[in-house]
């Protein structure tokens, strides 16, 4: 069993943590959390968890933990095998240093770099390894949380460009009220959708969620009450030519499908996208009661709505139980509350 450090990015940390746990579950990886920091977890896993982490939108990187300790510490023990392998093969390397946590390291940056960054460099330089900042064979990550450091070999790090390419503004058909791609991916991940599952978004709009589920290898089904939305989603999915999908027109409160194994959706908030005259709470309640018949027992449904709508109350008497509640503050007047239901 190896010790891994997962480093969460961005300002939506609770969402980042929950997304990671959901992906580990979806990929059937047994793990045990050893330590939780403000922006990372250290965990033990039975297999290399690459399949789980590479589908996470809010993860910065996965690191094979080599050493940790106080930054003032003189002797830092680093797993020998990496050094030996590097020496033998003369691999090039670079070191990244990031400060994390609310209480940033007290020392000024140059001093930290002198104390720790240069320590790591000198450690590897002593071994006569080439430094290559542009295209290194080994990338080391140093995280600093207060006076504690974590040093590890980067096994995977997020490619932000991949998400940027699918942002709503880059799609052939833009619809107002579309979620950013990383948010859509995170909500799809919270549904624990697996490769080969049937995935449903019954308020699909421009198709952001079904696109992400298709990228994960699911058979993606989207539906929307608005004919224009159906056309828009079709255009968008065609552009990325990803996987299998089907998009139909229908009302989420009455639509029927064969069984699906995962649902994630973003119903209208009556701000940018319309509820067609219904109260947000009534629309969501009726949709939940309807799709209860469609979702396989024991599987997950994820939806988001403004926190001021009290979504936990909307869920009462729908047949679902609330597993997780995550708040994400988007701006002054909108906090999205994301509910994971079973």
Sites of contact with ligand SAM (CB under 6 A): 175, 177-179, 184, 202-203, 205-206, 208-209, 224-226, 229, 251-253, 266-268, 273, 275-276, 283
Query: Minimum distance from CB of 332 to ligand SAM (Å)?
Result: 20
Residue whose CB is nearest to ligand SAM in the complex, by number: 205
Cα distance from N-terminal residue to C-terminal residue, the chain: 31
Q: How far is the CB of 7 from ligand SAM (least distance, A)?
A: 27
What is the nearest approach in angstroms of ligand SAM to the Cβ of residue 275?
6
Looking at beta carbons only, is 39 or 173 nearer to ligand SAM? 173
β-strands 40-45, 31-36: how paired?
Answer: antiparallel
**Least distance to ligand SAM from the beta carbon of 255, Å?**
7
* DSSP-based three-state secondary structure for 255: coil
Transcribe 121-160 into DSSP letters.
Answer: HHHHHTTTPPB-SSS-SEEEEEEEETTEEEEEEEEEE--H
* List of residues 6+ apart from 292 with CB closer than 8 A: 318, 319, 320
Give the nearer residue to ligand SAM in terms of CB position, either 55 or 253: 253
Residue with Cβ nearer ligand SAM (253 or 337): 253
Helix pair angle (208-215, 181-190), 10° resolution:
60
Angle of helix 208-215 relative to helix 227-240, nearest 10 degrees? 30
Minimum Å gap between C-beta 335 and ligand SAM is 16
CB nearer to ligand SAM: pick between 16 and 202: 202
Nearer to ligand SAM, 116 or 338 (CB): 338
Q: β-strands 148-157, 198-201: how paired?
A: unpaired
Q: How many other C-beta atoms are found inside a 10 Å radius of the C-beta of residue 324?
A: 16
Between 30 and 272, CB nearer to ligand SAM: 272
Q: How far is the CB of 235 from ligand SAM (least distance, A)?
A: 12
């Amino acid at each position: 069993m190896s010790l891994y450090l997962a480093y969460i990015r961005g300002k939506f940390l609770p969402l980042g943590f929950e997304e990671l746990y959901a992906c580990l579950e979806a990929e059937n990886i047994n793990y045990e959390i050893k330590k939780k920091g403000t922006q990372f977890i250290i965990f033990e896993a039975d297999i290399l968890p690459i399949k789980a982490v590479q589908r996470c939108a809010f993860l910065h990187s996965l690191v094979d933990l080599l050493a940790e300790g106080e930054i003032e510490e003189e002797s830092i023990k680093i797993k020998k095998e990496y050094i030996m392998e590097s020496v033998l093969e003369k691999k090039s390397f670079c070191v990244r240093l990031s400060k994390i946590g609310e209480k940033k390291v007290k020392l000024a940056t140059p001093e930290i770099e002198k104390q720790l960054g240069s320590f790591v460099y000198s450690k590897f330089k002593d071994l006569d390894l080439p430094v290559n900042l542009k295209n290194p064979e080994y990338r080391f990550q140093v995280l600093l949380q207060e006076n504690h450091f974590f040093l590890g070999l980067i096994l995977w790090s997020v490619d932000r460009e991949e998400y940027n390419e699918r942002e709503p503004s880059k799609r052939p058909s833009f619809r107002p009220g579309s979620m950013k791609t990383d948010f859509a991916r995170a909500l799809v991940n919270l549904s624990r959708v697996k490769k080969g599952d049937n995935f449903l978004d019954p308020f699909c709009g421009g198709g952001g969620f079904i696109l992400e589920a298709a990228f994960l290898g699911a058979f993606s089904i989207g539906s929307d009450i608005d004919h224009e939305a159906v056309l828009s989603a079709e255009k968008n999915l065609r552009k990325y030519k990803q996987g299998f999908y089907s998009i139909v027109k229908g009302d989420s409160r009455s639509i029927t499908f064969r069984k699906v194994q995962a649902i994630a959706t973003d119903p209208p908030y009556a701000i940018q996208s319309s509820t067609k005259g219904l109260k947000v709470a009534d629309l969501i309640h009726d949709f939940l009661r309807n799709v209860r018949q469609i979702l396989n027992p024991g599987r997950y449904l994820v939806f988001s709505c403004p926190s001021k709508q009290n979504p936990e109350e909307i869920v009462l008497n729908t047949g679902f139980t609330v597993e997780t509640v995550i708040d994400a503050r988007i701006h002054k007047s909108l906090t999205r509350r994301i509910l994971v239901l079973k």
